[in-house]
């Protein structure tokens, strides 16, 4: 495997392919980071990574199209297949060579947070989670390119197939919404091929009370497991593709073909099962809050209050679920995990404009909360969830804090209390 890795890595370094891949990646990342991080003064490099993802449609096919297809076209794959090296090591050697070419520019990107820290406070944990998410996305895309290159001996067909597949994995969320906005069996199946949504479990866009949108990062185990399972599955399928080539060169037997089919089905079932199991776990076991101001964290006091609930608490979010505040949705999910008595419902004001009139005569803002029990109810205005500061030079608001947990826990305590103070 080491010899194959050295051979492929040297071929990339001695040809224009590897250098073009690294140059384009570095160039576009530098262009976006100079805008987001230097011109706008944003300490989060996730913006630059999110913009560079679209490059994988072009750069990964360029990197992977020859890795297996060229071997088949020139018949040099016969030397590899008949060599005293297992097919798995051959596949791993080629994959690691492409991964090394991809990780070289990423290594330089990892120094950017330290550079930015000389100009102010930089959230190191969030930035390095963004680097991890970008690395997993890129490594998964390279594994897909390797597998598709093993299916043909035409490098152009390999490049086109890789481009189409990676484009579909990036746009799958939009394709799912065209099929069904509420979700069905077809969208669930297509969701298994949705790279960008799983990337979004670690890097997602959230909007605050001032209308500002930013990318926030969470160390999410389900996203990591998804990309690792995709990588391992693609490498396994590539090995099976090469094994099939080996069988056609020797004696093609029914037993070998059946073994390959069973092994492929088992690998697919294992990948699906592992991801379903990871997705079924509560977020408190799979997600680690790495945000600077702990947007998704829950204090011990809240845990005691919510875990000790003995009556149902209904929380209505005055917004459509697809347009709800991302940070608030994460907070509410944590509350639901703490107690089965917490029930969260989203009320679309366009579909039910008279819903808020049952609880208040005032007009509610989008994403406001209505906390209700059998005893009483309480309104939590959306603008009370965030602490803002006004810049009178530009007459703009800047969010300085998030108090969603404090407001929500206070409202729950009020609604479940037996003894109300009287003034």
**Domain housing 321:** 300-416
Q: How far is CA 231 from CA 94, 145, 218, 245, 253, in A?
A: 13, 11, 21, 21, 29
Q: Select from 225, 253, 288 the last residue of a domain.
A: 288
The verdict on 280 and 167 lying in the same domain is yes
Q: Select from 288, 321, 355 the last residue of a domain.
A: 288
* SS3 (DSSP) at 132: helix
Task: Kindly report, residue by residue over 146-185, the tens digit of the pLDDT.
Answer: 999 988 889 999 999 999 999 999 888 888 878 876 667 7
The verdict on 45 and 158 lying in the same domain is yes
pLDDT recorded at residue 32: 92
Q: In total, how many domains does the chain have? A: 2
d(CA 374, CA 380): 18
The verdict on 155 and 201 lying in the same domain is yes
Taking the CA of residue 60 as centre, how many other CA atoms within 13 Å lie in the half-sphere pointing to its CB? Answer: 30
Q: Is residue 175 part of a domain?
A: yes
The verdict on 100 and 198 lying in the same domain is yes
pLDDT recorded at residue 370: 92
Q: pTM of the prediction?
A: 0.78
The verdict on 31 and 114 lying in the same domain is yes
Q: Is residue 71 part of a domain?
A: yes
The verdict on 253 and 343 lying in the same domain is no
For residue 320, the domain's CATH number is 3.40.30.10
Q: Is residue 371 part of a domain?
A: yes
Q: Select from 254, 288, 322 the last residue of a domain.
A: 288
What b/e sequence results for 265-283 when a residue is b if at least 16 CB atoms lie within 10 Å of its CB, and e otherwise?
A: eebeeebeeebeebeeeeb
The verdict on 259 and 178 lying in the same domain is yes
pLDDT recorded at residue 254: 47
Q: Is residue 107 part of a domain?
A: yes
The average pLDDT across 83-110 equals: 89
The verdict on 110 and 258 lying in the same domain is yes
The verdict on 132 and 259 lying in the same domain is yes
Q: Where are the alpha helices (DSSP H) in 150-282?
A: 155-179, 185-191, 195-200, 221-249, 254-280
């Amino acid at each position: 495997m080491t010899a194959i890795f050295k051979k492929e890595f040297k071929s990339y370094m001695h040809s224009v392919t590897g250098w073009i891949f690294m140059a384009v990646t570095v160039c576009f990342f530098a262009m976006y980071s100079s805008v987001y991080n230097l011109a706008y003064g944003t300490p989060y490099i996730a913006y630059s990574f999110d913009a560079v993802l679209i490059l994988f449609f072009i750069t990964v096919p360029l990197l992977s199209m020859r890795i297996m297809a060229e071997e088949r076209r020139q018949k040099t794959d016969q030397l590899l297949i008949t060599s005293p090296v297992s097919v798995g090591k051959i596949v791993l050697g080629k994959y690691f060579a492409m991964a090394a070419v991809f990780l070289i520019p990423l290594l330089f990107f990892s120094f950017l947070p330290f550079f930015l820290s000389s100009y102010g406070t930089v959230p190191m944990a969030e930035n390095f989670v963004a680097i991890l998410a970008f690395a997993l996305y890129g490594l998964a895309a390279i594994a897909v390119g390797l597998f598709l290159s093993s299916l043909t001996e035409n490098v152009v067909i390999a490049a086109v197939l890789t481009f189409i597949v990676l484009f579909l994995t990036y746009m799958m969320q939009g394709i799912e919404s065209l099929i069904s906005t509420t979700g069905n069996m077809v969208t669930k199946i297509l969701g298994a091929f949705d790279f960008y949504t799983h990337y979004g479990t670690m890097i997602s866009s959230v909007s605050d009370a001032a209308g500002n949108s930013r990318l926030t990062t969470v160390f999410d185990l389900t996203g990591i497991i998804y990309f690792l399972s995709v990588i391992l599955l693609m490498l396994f399928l590539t090995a099976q593709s090469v094994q099939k080539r080996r069988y056609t060169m020797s004696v093609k037997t029914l037993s070998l073909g059946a073994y390959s089919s069973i092994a492929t089905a088992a690998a697919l079932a294992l990948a699906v099962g592992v991801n379903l199991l990871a997705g079924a776990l509560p977020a408190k076991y799979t997600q680690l809050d790495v945000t600077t101001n702990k947007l998704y964290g829950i204090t011990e006091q809240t845990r005691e209050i919510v875990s000790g609930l003995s009556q149902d608490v209904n929380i209505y979010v005055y917004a459509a679920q697809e347009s709800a505040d991302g940070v608030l949705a994460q907070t509410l999910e944590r509350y639901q995990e703490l107690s089965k008595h917490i029930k969260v419902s989203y009320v679309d004001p366009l579909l039910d404009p008279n819903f808020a009139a049952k609880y208040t005569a005032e007009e509610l803002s989008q994403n406001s909360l209505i906390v209700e029990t059998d005893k009483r109810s309480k309104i939590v205005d959306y603008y009370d969830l965030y602490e803002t500061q006004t810049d009178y030079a530009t007459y703009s608001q800047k969010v300085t804090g998030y108090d969603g947990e404090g407001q929500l826990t206070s409202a729950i305590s009020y609604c479940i209390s037996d003894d109300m103070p009287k003034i």
